[in-house]
Chains A and B, each alone.
Chain A
C-alpha cells in the first residue's frame, strides 16, 4: 500500500484542487457542491444537502459519487439507475461510490428518507449537466448542431444531415481534464420519458450476496488484526468508580486501555478478547432509573430541552377551548408506545487501522462524515487524517448513527500498533445500542354531530415531531411535542416519531368515526385535506374490496375485523388495510394486509415494492410484539429468544399497491410505509371484538387483552 501521508479528502479541498483525473484518468468531471450546515444548522440559502459528482472516463464509463450510504435499503441500485438514465448508459457502465469520506461529497448522513429527494435529485442534475457537456463535445466532434446529436448506450450519434457518424463517450472525452459545475438552469429528463429508471432491473451486487462472497464489516480481516471488546456499564448511566486492568494485561497478547470514559481490550482472537474483558475488575456507581411500571409518569414529570429532529414544537390555530365547549361530540384518550430495538441482523461492527498518522475506519454506519468528525474530535487529529469507508452493512433502520465503537477501535489500534476489529455480540447490540423512544400521546378532540372535526389537541411526549401535524381539515388545533428524559438510551429509528404519532391519530380518528356511526374510509375521505393521500386511500379500499360499514362497539359474531389507516410523512403517502381474527382466548391473527404507497415518480419499482413490503413486516413487529423490558436501567430481554421479532409464521399475505406519479418529484420509501400498520391493526381489532387498544405493542406474546381498560 502506498503511503497515505499526502492524501486530503476531496470534500476538504476546493473542487479545482481535487485530483479527480489523477485518480480516475482523463475525462470529464461535473460537480454539484454540497451545501454544508452553517453555525445555525442551516447553510447559506437553505437547508443543508449532500453534493454529487460524476466522472466520465476514457473507458466510456461513468463513476458517480455520493455521501449517502447503502445499508440494505436498495439505494445503490436506485441511484445508479438515475445516473444511467441521465447519461443514457447501461447500468453496468455506472460505478457508484457511496459514503467514502476520502472521495465522496460531504453528506449529513443517510436518514430521514433523504436518499431519493436529496442524493437522487443531485445525481440526476449532475448527470444531466454531464450529458449536456457530452452533447457539446459530440456536436464539435461530429460537425453537427447540438440539436442533431443523439446520445444512447454510451455513444453520440449524428442525426439529420450527418446521419451515420458516431463517437463513444470515451472518444469524446479522450485527453480531456475538464471540470464543470452543474449550471443552475440544468433540466434533468422528465420521469415520464425515463427508459431505464422507473423500470424493473436486477439489483447490483446480487451474485455476491447469494454466494456469501459479499464482505460486510464484520467479515473483514487485515494482517495482524486484533479483536476488540469494550467494558460497558451494567446499568444505563452508571459511572465507573474504579477499574483494575492488571489481570487482563497479564494475558498473552492482550492490550487493555483506560482512556477517559473508555475501557477496552484487544486480543489476537475473539475468544481471547472476551476472556480479557472478563478478567477486568470494575466497580460502578449506578444512578437510579425508573421502572417500566412508572415510566409513563416519569416521562410526564421529566421534560427535556429539544435538539435536532427531537425538537419542541408548538402549533396553534383557532381556539380549541371555545370550539370544544360548543361541540356535541368530545373524545379524550392517551396512546403509548414501547422502547423497541432495531436489532439489525449484522450487529454494529468496525475495523480501524493506522498507516503512520492516518487512520482508516471501516464501519457499518449511516453517518460516515459525522463519524469522521467525531473521531477527529475525540482523538484530537485533523479530519483530513481520518478516512471512513462504509462496507456493505447488514441493515441499520436508524440504529447505526453512533461513533463510539469507531473511536474505541481507533484508540485500541493506536496502542496495540495493529488493526483492531470490534463487533457487538447480540447481547451487546440489544443493551448498548440505543432504542426507539417510548412515547406518550394525549389526544383531545371535538366534532359536530356528523363527525366533522371542530377541535384537535395533540400533545406528544418523547415521540418526536414527525407526523405530529394532522392531514385532516380542522379549524382549531393545538399540537405540541415535548422531549423528555429517558431511562434508557434513545435515538433515531426507522419512522420513529411518525409511527407513534400516526398510531395515536389514526386510532383516534377511528374512535371518532365509530362514535358518530360513520364508515372509517368514508369518514377519512370527508375530512382529509390532502388529495394525494385521499387517492392512496381510495386505491387501497378498492384493492381490499372495502364494503362501507361503521365499526361496531360490540364487535362481530365471527370475530373477524377490518381496519384502515392513512399517513402522510416525508413526502410519502400511505394507506394500510388490515384484516384480523381475534380468538376467544385473545389470540390475534393477521389475515391480510394491503399497503398502498405514493412517493412521486418511482425510480426503482421492484425495490420500492420491497421497501413497502419489508416496511410492513418490520412495522408488524413494533405493532404486535416488540418491547424492551427494563428495570433500574438494565435491559431484561437482550436476546432474540426473549425479544420477539416477526418470523415466517407471523407474515400474512401482503398486497402492495404503488401509485406512480411521474409528474412529481421522487420522495423516499424506506420509512413512511411503516406508519399505517399499527393503527390499521388496532382499528381492525376494534371492529372484530369492540375493544380499543391504545398501547403498543398490541399483542405481546401474540394475545390481545380482552378485558377493556
Chain B
C-alpha cells in the first residue's frame, strides 16, 4: 500500500499517458492501480462498474484500442499510450450508439448495472463481426453476468443493433 501511504505520491511515482474517450490523461503508474480503479476513482468515469475484481462478471468491460477488455484485470501500465473507450465515450455526437439504442428498444435491462459492460462488449463484437449468429453473441458475451436474468433480451438487443448497423451502412453507401 506504499502508494497511498507515501506523503507526496506525485513526486515518487512515474506518470503515464493514455487517451480516455478521446482526451489525453496523465495518471500515476502504480502496480496497485488497475484501469478500473483509475477510471472510477481518479477520472470520475463511473459508468464502468465494479462487479467482482477477478474478471468474471464483465461489468467493467471497456475498449482498449477497440478491443474489449476487463478494466479490473488491466494494469495501468498495459493501457499506457493506448486509447481507452468507456461507456461514456461510446455515443456519437448525434446521439446514442446503435447498440445503446437497441438496448432501449429491446428493453434489455432491469437494474441496469450490467448494461454498460454488456453494451461495450456487444459494440466490440459488432465492430469485428457485424452479423454474428446467436451462438456467436452468446460466446462473445459469456463473460458478462446479468444477475437479473435478462440474457435473452440482451441477445435480442444485439441482433437489433446488428440489423441497425447494417441498415445504416447500406444507407450511407
- Closest A residue, CB atoms, query B4: A272
Checking B87, B139, B155 against A212 with a beta-carbon cut-off of 8 angstroms, the contacting residue is B87
The residue in chain B whose Cβ has the minimal distance to the Cβ of A430 is B52
| B51 nearest in chain A by CB position | A345
Q: Would you call B112 an interface residue if the criterion is a C-beta within 8 Å of the partner chain's C-beta atoms?
A: yes
B27, chain A: closest CB distance, angstroms: 13
Q: Is the CB of A213 within 8 A of B47?
A: yes
- Whether the pair B88, A618 counts as a contact (CB closer than 8 A) is no
Choose among A214, A269, A271, A606 the residue that contacts B107 (Cβ–Cβ < 8 A). A606
In the bound complex, how far is the Cα of B114 from the Cα of A344, in angstroms? 10
In the complex the two chains form, what is the Cα distance from A426 to B114 in whole Å? 15
- Please tell me which stretch of A199-207, A380-388, A522-530, A694-702 contacts chain B, meaning at least 4 of its Cβ atoms lie within 8 angstroms of it: A199-207
Chain B hits for A275, CB < 8 A: 1, 4-5
The distance from the CB of A348 to the nearest CB of chain B, in whole angstroms, is 12
Q: Is the CB of A211 within 8 A of B112?
A: no
Knowing A74-B110, A211-B87, A271-B1 touch, does A426 contact B147 (C-beta < 8 A)? no
Looking at the complex, which one of B40, B110, B139, B152 makes contact with A73 (CB distance below 8 Å)? B110
- Contact B147 A397, beta carbon cutoff 8 Å: yes
Contact of A618 among B51, B100, B101, B147 (CB under 8 A): B147
Known contacts A202-B107, A613-B152; decide if A426 and B32 are in contact (CB<8 Å): no
In the complex, which residues 256-282 of chain A have their Cβ closer than 8 Å to any Cβ of chain B?
267-272, 274-275, 278
Closest-by-CB residue of B relative to A278 is: B1
Q: Which residues, 105 to 124 on B, are CB-close (under 8 Å) to A?
A: 107, 109-116, 119
> Which residues of A186-231 have CB atoms within 8 Å of chain B's CB atoms?
202-203, 205-207, 209-216, 218-219, 221
B49 interface residue (CB < 8 Å to A): yes
Task: Give A212 to B59 CA distance when docked, in angstroms.
Answer: 11
Q: Can you list, as one digit per residue, whether each of B20-42 has a CB less than 8 Å from chain A (1) or not (0)?
A: 00000000000011000100110
Q: Kindly supply a per-residue 1/0 record for chain A positions 636-658, scoring 1 wherever the CB is within 8 Å of any chain B CB and 0 otherwise.
A: 00011100011111010110000
Say whether A71 faces chain B, with CB atoms less than 8 Å apart.
yes
Contact A640 B111 (CB under 8 A): no
Q: Do A216 and B113 touch (CB < 8 A)?
A: yes
Q: Tell me the interface secondary structure of chain A in the complex.
A: loop
Name, among B3, B52, B87, the residue most crowded by chain A CB atoms within 10 Å (CB to CB).
B52
| Residue contact B145 to A271, C-beta cutoff 8 Å | no
- A271/B32 contact (C-beta < 8 A), A72-B148, A211-B47, A251-B5 known: yes
| Chain A contacts for B44, CB-based, 8 A | 221
User: Given A346-B113, A610-B107, does the pair A211, B100 have CB atoms closer than 8 Å?
Assistant: yes
Contacts of A640 in B (CB 8 A): 52, 54, 56-57, 145
Nearest chain A CB to B7 CB, angstrom units: 6
Central interface residue in A278, A610, A646, by most chain B CB within 10 Å: A610
Does A394 interact with chain B (Cβ within 8 Å)?
yes
Q: By the criterion of a CB under 8 Å from any partner CB, how many residues of chain A are at the interface? A: 65
Q: Is the CB–CB distance between A207 and B96 below 8 Å?
A: yes
Complex interface bits, B125-152 against A, C-beta within 8 A gives 1, otherwise 0: 0000000000001110111111111111
The complex places the Cα of A669 from the Cα of B27 at a distance, in Å, of: 47
Chain B residues with Cβ below 8 Å from A344 are 111, 113, 147
- In the complex, A425 has a CB within 8 A of chain B: yes
Tell me, yes or no, whether B53 is within 8 Å of chain A by CB: yes
CA distance A300 to B144 in the complex (A): 40
Do A617 and B47 touch across chains, with their CB atoms under 8 A apart? no
Residue of B nearest to A640 (CB): B56
Contact A394 B113 (CB under 8 A): yes
Contact A210 B100 (CB under 8 A): yes
* Chain A residues, CB < 8 A from B115: 209-210
CB pair A395 B141 closer than 8 Å = no
Judge whether A2 is part of the interface by a CB distance below 8 angstroms: no
Q: Could you tell me which residues of chain A, from 321 to 365, have a CB within 8 Å of some CB in chain B?
A: 343-347
B1 lies within 8 A of A639 (CB): no
Residues of chain A lying within 8 A (CB to CB) of residue B51: 345-347, 426
Q: Pick the residue among A213, A278, A397, A610 that contacts B150 (CB under 8 A).
A: A610
Q: Nearest CB to that of A650 among chain B residues?
A: B151
**Cα separation A397 to B147 with both chains bound (whole Å):** 9
**B14: min CB distance to chain A, Å:** 17
Residue of A with least CB distance to B111 = A72
Interface presence of B48 (CB below 8 A): yes
The reply to whether B142 and A271 form a contact with Cβ atoms under 8 Å apart is: no
A367 to chain B, nearest CB (A): 17
User: Beyond A269-B4, A275-B5, A395-B113, is A649–B138 a contact (Cβ under 8 Å)?
Assistant: yes
Q: In the complex, what residue of chain A is closest to B30 when comparing beta carbons?
A: A271
A617 to B114 alpha-carbon distance, docked (Å): 15
Partner among A423, A606, A614 whose Cβ is within 8 Å of the Cβ of B149? A614
Q: Is the CB of B46 within 8 A of A219?
A: yes
Known: A395-B111, A395-B113, A615-B149. A274 touches B1 (CB 8 A): yes
> Is B153 at the interface (CB under 8 A from chain A)?
yes
Asked if A392 is at the interface (CB within 8 A of a chain B CB), the reply is: yes
B41→A269 contact, CB < 8 A: yes
Give, as a whole number of angstroms, the nearest-CB distance from A623 to chain B. Answer: 13
Counting chain B CB atoms within 10 Å of each CB, the highest count among A71, A205, A210, A347 belongs to A210
State A195–B59 Cα separation when bound (angstroms). 38
For residue B159, CB closer than 8 A to chain A, the reply is no
| Cβ–Cβ contact B88 & A639, under 8 A | no
CA gap between A688 and B91 in the complex, in Å: 49
On whether the beta carbons of A210 and B103 are closer than 8 Å, the reply is: yes
Partner of A395, one of B1, B48, B91, B148: B148
Q: Is B86 an interface residue when CB atoms closer than 8 A count as contact?
A: yes
- Chain B 60-96 near chain A by CB (<8 Å), digits 1 or 0: 0000000000000000000000000011101100001
Q: Is B104's CB within 8 Å of the partner chain A?
A: yes
Q: Are A271 and B148 in contact (CB under 8 A)?
A: no
Kindly state the separation between the CA atoms of A268 and B51 in the bound complex, as whole angstroms. Answer: 22
Mind listing 8 A-B residue pairs with CB under 8 Å?
Answer: A72-B111, A202-B104, A252-B4, A268-B4, A345-B49, A395-B113, A425-B53, A641-B56
Residues of A that sit less than 8 Å from B by CB: 71-74, 202-203, 205-207, 209-216, 218-219, 221, 251-252, 267-272, 274-275, 278, 343-347, 392-395, 397, 423, 425-426, 606-607, 610-611, 613-618, 639-641, 645-649, 651, 653-654
Q: A221-B44, A252-B5, A392-B112 are in contact. List 13 more A-B contacts (CB 8 A).
A: A203-B109, A251-B5, A269-B4, A269-B41, A271-B32, A345-B57, A347-B51, A392-B111, A610-B150, A610-B153, A614-B149, A617-B151, A640-B54
